[in-house]
């Protein structure tokens, strides 16, 4: 199926960055189309309904990290409320849950040690080798933080990028994080005006892009096997890093002719892995774990599977989220859904001092999405590796005058790996395209 119509812009991917880019271009009456491989919008924002109608199940992004003006503006437009997430921590030590009152003060001092101005970059693993004076408990917490929050491998993540991200986080509204009452999908719905809805083609996986100086042809292979040919002046790839790298045959995009500069432009970036399980229990049995109610975060040693758990506090709901990031998450991705549930409950048994049999009886349902095996994600989000002094990464990757890259992978420092980073980068790419058209 061929079309003679030539769009000003075709955006590949209807996740946060793609929708943000499209929404801002449409405001300037740009003739565009958005092609999405999935049967839904949102990408790695994946909100589902639950047995409790007022409490959504988030299989992807959950928190608004810092008060991003762009996200807050979208929530204001849609009239959706949000609330502060609480982060009081209980730590499993010697078989008991304890509260470390000086935890944040001590940990902030450790987070301030990595140097974003180093002449020669190194991995965070090498950083730890050089800082032998860091106490073991703080060292373990730092490893857990890098693997958990950053979803990174400490042998690959660069000290300079890590330090810059932490500095930005302190500058951008401190450590405040928020949840959205109706779920993260509401942020994206704020972009979905009727004019944009009409421009999105779902179940349109792009498999090939043919290009020359005169025209660009985008080929989609539809579920029926039929091929659709679309023409454009500019193309925006708003897809995850692993898709750009061609890690899965199903989501691979072939360029004819090849663009040899593309992969080197991604060489400093790495795909982070996360396994997230949403447990809905019959009761809130954890509320008596501490005299300090409600319970917020529960932490086990970082070498245990699913070492981080949290409630929906301040909401008192029978939900616990089990979280594993980094190399152990990638390992878990090769297990079955039931095997991951078993690993998670084994850790929760140790944290709560409840028998495995008790926990299994308490489980009402478990919800998960294996992003590491999803062909259109192949991971959770991006982190930056060790700096290559011979190559300066582009903030706004642009190739041969027609191809643009956008997404959380290219967001600045603390925005990398976040929805607000993806939204902001999509907006910024839209501004660049308007200058180019």
Banded pLDDT at 159 (limits 50, 70, 90): very high
List the single range of 193-197, 238-242, 371-375 with lowest mean pLDDT.
193-197
Contact yes or no for 280/50 (Cβ under 8 A): yes
pLDDT surpasses 70 at 404: yes
The better pLDDT of the pair 153, 106 is held by 153
What are 278-312's pLDDT values in tens digits?
999 999 999 988 776 678 999 999 999 999 999 99
| Residue closest to 397 by CA, chosen among 238, 159, 160 | 238
Please, where are the H alpha helices in 83-201? 103-111, 124-130, 136-148, 159-171, 185-189, 194-197
C-alpha 337/C-alpha 29 separation (Å) is: 46
**Residues counted in the chain:** 437
Closest of 131, 135, 154, 133 to residue 143, by C-alpha: 154
- If you average pLDDT over residues 124-149, what whole number do you get? 95
pLDDT at 96 over 70: yes
List pLDDT tens digits, range 340-357. Answer: 999 999 999 999 999 999
Span 109-132, mean pLDDT? 95
**Mean pLDDT along residues 392-412:** 93
In the predicted model, what is the mean pLDDT of residues 37-59?
Answer: 94
Q: What pLDDT is attached to residue 117?
A: 93
pLDDT value at position 172? 56
Per-residue pLDDT at 294: 77
pLDDT of residue 403: 98
Both structure tokens of 263 = 């992969």
Name which of 2-6, 343-347, 408-412 the model is least confident about. Answer: 2-6
Q: Does the pLDDT at position 1 exceed 60?
A: no
- Given a cut of 90, is residue 205 above it in pLDDT? yes
Per-residue confidence (pLDDT) for residue 53, from 0 to 100: 82
Taking every pair of Cα atoms in the chain, the longest distance, rounded to a whole number of angstroms, is 70
Domains and CATH numbers, the chain: 2-42+184-267+391-436 (3.50.50.60), 88-174+271-373 (3.90.660.10)
Q: What is the mean pLDDT of residues 164-170?
A: 79
The pLDDT of residue 281: 98
Instruction: Count other C-beta atoms under 10 Å from residue 8's C-beta.
Output: 17
**What is the average pLDDT value for the chain, to the nearest integer?**
93
Q: State the Cα–Cα distance between residues 32 and 128, nearest whole angstrom.
A: 48
Q: What is the pLDDT of residue 214?
A: 86
pLDDT number for residue 240:
98
Please indicate if the annotation marks 17 as binding a ligand. yes
Sheet strands (E) in 54-137: 57-58, 63-65, 82-84, 89-93, 96-98
Phi, psi of 59 (to 5 degrees): -95, -10
**Confidence at 90, pLDDT banded by 50, 70, 90:** very high
d(C-alpha 55, C-alpha 247), whole Å: 35
- pLDDT computed for residue 175 by the predictor: 58
């Amino acid at each position: 199926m061929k079309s003679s119509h030539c769009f000003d812009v075709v955006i590949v991917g209807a996740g946060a960055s793609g929708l943000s880019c499209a929404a801002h271009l449409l405001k300037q009456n740009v003739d565009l189309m958005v092609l999405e491989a999935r049967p839904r919008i949102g990408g790695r924002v994946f909100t589902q309904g639950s047995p409790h109608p007022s409490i959504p199940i988030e299989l992807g992004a959950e928190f608004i990290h810092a008060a991003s003006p762009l996200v807050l503006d979208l929530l204001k437009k849609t009239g959706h409320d949000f609330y502060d997430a609480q982060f009081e921590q209980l730590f499993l030590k010697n078989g008991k849950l304890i509260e470390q009152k000086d935890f944040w003060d001590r940990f902030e001092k450790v987070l301030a040690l990595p140097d974003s101005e180093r002449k020669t970059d190194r991995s965070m693993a090498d950083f730890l080798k050089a800082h032998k004076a860091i106490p073991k408990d703080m060292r373990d917490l730092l490893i857990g933080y890098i693997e958990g929050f950053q979803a990174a491998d400490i042998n690959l993540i660069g000290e300079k990028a890590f330090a810059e991200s932490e500095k930005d986080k302190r500058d951008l509204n401190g450590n405040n994080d928020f949840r959205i009452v109706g779920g993260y999908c509401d942020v994206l719905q704020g972009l979905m005006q009727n004019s944009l809805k009409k421009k999105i083609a779902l179940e349109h996986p792009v498999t090939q892009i043919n290009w020359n100086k005169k025209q660009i042809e985008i080929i989609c292979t539809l579920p029926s096997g039929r091929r659709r040919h679309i023409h454009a002046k500019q193309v925006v790839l708003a897809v995850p890093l692993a898709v750009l790298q061609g890690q899965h045959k199903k989501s691979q995009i072939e360029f004819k002719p090849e663009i040899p500069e593309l992969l080197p432009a991604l060489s400093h970036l790495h795909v982070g892995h996360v396994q997230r399980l949403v447990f809905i229990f019959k009761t809130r049995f954890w509320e008596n774990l501490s005299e300090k109610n409600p319970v917020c975060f529960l932490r086990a040693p970082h070498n245990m599977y699913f070492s981080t758990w949290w409630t929906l506090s301040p909401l008192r709901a029978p939900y616990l989220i089990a979280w594993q990031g980094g190399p152990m998450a990638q390992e878990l991705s090769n297990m079955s859904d039931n095997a991951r549930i078993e690993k998670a409950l084994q850790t929760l048994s140790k944290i709560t001092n409840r028998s495995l049999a008790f926990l299994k009886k308490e489980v009402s349902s478990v919800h998960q999405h294996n992003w590491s095996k999803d062909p259109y994600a192949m991971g959770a989000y991006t982190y930056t590796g060790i700096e290559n002094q011979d190559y300066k990464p582009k903030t706004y990757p642009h190739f041969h005058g027609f191809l643009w890259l956008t997404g959380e992978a290219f967001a600045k420092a603390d925005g990398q790996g976040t929805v607000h980073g993806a939204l902001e980068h999509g907006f910024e790419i839209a501004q660049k395209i308007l200058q180019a058209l």
